Structure 1
Amino acid sequence: MKFENTLEFAQELDKRDPLAKYRNEFVYPKVKGKEVIYFTGNSLGLQPKRSKEFVDEIMKDWAELAVEGHFYANRPWWDYHERLANPLAKVVGARPEEITVMNTLSVNLHLLMVSFYTPNPKRYKIVCEEKAFPSDQYMLQSQVRFHGFDPENAIVEVKKREGEHYWRTEDILAKIDEVGDELALVLIGGVNYYNGQVMDMKAITEAGKAVGANVGWDLAHAVGNVALELHDWNADFAAWCSYKYMNSGPGNASGVFIHERHLNRKDIPRFEGWWGTKKEERFLMKPQFEPMSNADAWQISNPPVLSLAPYLASLELFEEVGMQALIEKQKSITSYLEFVLGEIDKDVDSSFEIITPQERGCQLSVFLHGQGKVLFNYLMDHGVIVDWREPNVIRLAPAPFYCSFEEMYRFGQILKEGILNKD
């Protein structure tokens, strides 16, 4: 399709958009009385309107049933988390028994490394990307030190090539092959938070498994954003937060994938608690742990239902729409945003450099050469909610559930005005 940078063209795209009606399912902040153009769903998704109903239901059951809500609520609390497994399995390309929801992302990655980072004097190294999200860096360093190794030696970072803003898959594969039988774990962000690059998760997983390593994925920026086939890719584990593209609310519960080959095992190293023991025996209070036959064996405590309620509400939307439809719009609206940026760049004395490669979801990271934080502040003051990253990058994520093509056009006009009027 040949794009046009006009209001009429953008509005026509919205008329053809089968997901356009879902904008009405979300609550929009306002700046100066007008709904914002929201580009930060890669940090915190907008609130689905139906979330309140799901939370209010639990509050009502708590008020009317108290402790009996565990078993007699409309959605009983003791197995509330189980309702999330089927829809999440469709989102990440897994089997329902491979999915559980618990804790938060960094906590879950630590717990998963208890099971899947089990180094010995020969095989102890971890491959990750350079400048991974800081929490991942801290986790890897602390895990390595906990096992008595030096992070400087045990953590192997794959670097970008000089002058490039993205990783080349062949460089990652080569590094895995180079580390070889010293490699215990590959743990990489499936979508890089900074440049928005989607890693070749299938090829990287295959390479890691080929040298005998475990392979896990931090999918914070991937779930609900890009196509995933975790089971078929043969990943050992993955975890993700739910508050970005999954729209479940700030700091909310984390999803976990554990490949079925690791399930129903008593010999796997794992930190255990009573919610991971067999459901039918949980309240017998036996002294010995009997693991659930699914990923719930990694659960330690009972589920935080007030956190899970908005997650379940959001997943209801994902069930209605389906990932394929979301990905189709993600590709088209991100391409249109890229086009608009190019057109504005021609009109102003500036230079935008998109550092996100074509292997992407719905994020464009843009170097604002010749601009600065003054432009970022102008955008924010004019109702365009974007994300600033040092040294001079804005991240734009047109989430397909609630962003419109008209907003991409309007953003371009505000951006143009901000550059021309910056003095």
Structure 2
Amino acid sequence: MRTSLTLLHSFVFVALMASSCSNKETAQEDPSQNPAPTGPNNCTPLETRTANAPDQKPAFAGQTRACGITTSAKLNVTVLARGLEKPWAVEPLPDGSLLVTEKPGRLLIVSSTGDKGQPITGLPAVDARGQGGLLDVALSPNFASDRTIFWSFSEPRTGGNGTSVARGVLSADRRSLEQVRVIFRALPTYNGTLHYGSRLAFGPDNMLYVTLGERSDLEIRPQAQQMNSHMGKIVRITTDGAPAPGNPFTGQAGTLPEIWSVGHRNVQAAAFDPAGKLWVVEMGPRGGDELNLIEKGKNYGWPLVTYGVEYSGSPVPNSVTAKEGFEQPVYYWDPVIAPSGAQFYTGTAFPEWQGNLFVGGMKDQRLVRLKIENGKVTGEEHLLKERGQRIRDVRQGPDGALYIVTDQSNGELWKITPQQ
């Protein structure tokens, strides 16, 4: 897709105006209120605000504005730690302590009682401008025996930066990383500060799935549809960084063998469900955040097929909401939630949450709970709104509690349990 120089200049102006302290996905909006419509299931949808793209229509009933649902259990929120600088990810360890990444480039361990350790040494440098920095962290499937962790980060490179994945062995005293090496670099390198994607998720096949943003700008955005680029893709690699066996495009000329799926914008939320299926929650433009069930080799449309509009309010150039050969989202939000972090609940602390998907919401500062039945969203709940903090990541601990980090300069780590 090609665009005129005038349109490019307009986009750059809008991007500069929208960035500042908040990234574009999380710019606050104040849409007007409308009377609550009746949804397809004869209920009042949880979302009743005016859509950013009111002329766009869902492809099927229940694709947006699901029925509101309510958790019966009362929640207890324990603030385990304060003073975290822009935490991006939380990863529970087997002993109940938690790994936390901070965007400026620090990785630390917080004990189960909230004691913050010193930053772990041995990490490579990060480019922490804009949306970049030290991003996700994940334990090796064999962490109990190999003490290996994986992390994603925006790596400074000649000519710009890019999303990279590294691995290292946590020392016995948990103060440093050893045998550190970068195992994957998203290409091409680009001189920008937006849309790194960067969630890591190990599948039941023990392969590492990495979500990669398309870097936002109009000049590089079309690469989300180009098979010789990692931009706007989900890749599937081995723990050594090689293309995983069985990838859908292996051996195809002009195609990167790591690619698992195509046509993504900026995925910062990814989780496997109890049946082993990969779901991602993708930041859309203004309107059109998407919940997608990821299937091998499928194309999810961006920037050709999308719900929502540009931040300027103009249509996404040359786009439609549905087109043959492109996957529809299982669900979408308009207005957006700015999703980051995802977890399917499998614990016993909250029996009514079994199988539900939890998603961090940054723009409206809440934790989103989705009830999914037969591949469709049948209920939505917004939790923790009263705390007024941008939820960046949510993970389940071995104790069945949910652990959350908030995207603030003075960020917090929360533990969510039922009230006794």
Tell me the TM-score normalised to structure 2 length. Answer: 0.28
Greater share of helix: 1
Tell me the TM-score normalised to structure 1 length. Answer: 0.28
Greater share of strand: 2
